[in-house]
């Protein structure tokens, strides 16, 4: 079930590639989509029984020719994550640090940060 809408996720979640786990044991799934249209999904397992009650888009990337190839959460700082970006069109690959101020009651990182990452990669590609 899509956490945002309560509806079935359907075919928008269709190409899982790798996993990451944050300091609270939450699972994130990185998609490998062609053309740079990729998402990172947050999996919610409320009762920790190994079965997800819902998933939600945690971050999206739409830079043409790029894809997230890995996500890593800093084990010493729950507000820091690293995203590996492969950019086949420009041969500019990066590991980008994302830092956020935690929201009350959660350690979720900001979706806006990932949008800025995509914008920065797109700007760099145009130069």
pLDDT digits 0-9 by tens, 51-107: 788 888 888 777 777 778 889 999 888 888 998 888 767 777 888 888 876 555 444
Enumerate the domain spans of the chain. 10-126
69 by DSSP, 3-state: which? strand
- Cα distance between residue 64 and residue 74, in whole Å: 28
- Cα distance between residue 118 and residue 36, in whole Å: 10
pTM, to two decimals: 0.67
């Amino acid at each position: 079930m899509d956490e945002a809408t309560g509806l079935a996720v359907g075919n928008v979640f269709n190409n899982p590639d790798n996993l990451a786990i944050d300091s609270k044991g939450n699972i994130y799934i990185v998609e490998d989509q062609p053309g740079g249209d990729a998402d990172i999904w947050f999996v919610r397992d409320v009762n920790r029984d190994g079965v997800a009650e819902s998933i939600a888009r945690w971050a999206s990337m739409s830079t043409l020719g790029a894809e997230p190839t890995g996500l890593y959460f800093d084990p010493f700082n729950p507000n820091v994550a690293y995203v590996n970006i492969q950019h086949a069109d420009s041969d500019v690959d990066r590991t980008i640090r994302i830092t956020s101020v935690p929201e009350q009651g959660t350690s979720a990182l900001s979706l806006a940060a990932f949008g800025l990452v995509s914008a920065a990669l797109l700007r760099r590609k145009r130069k």
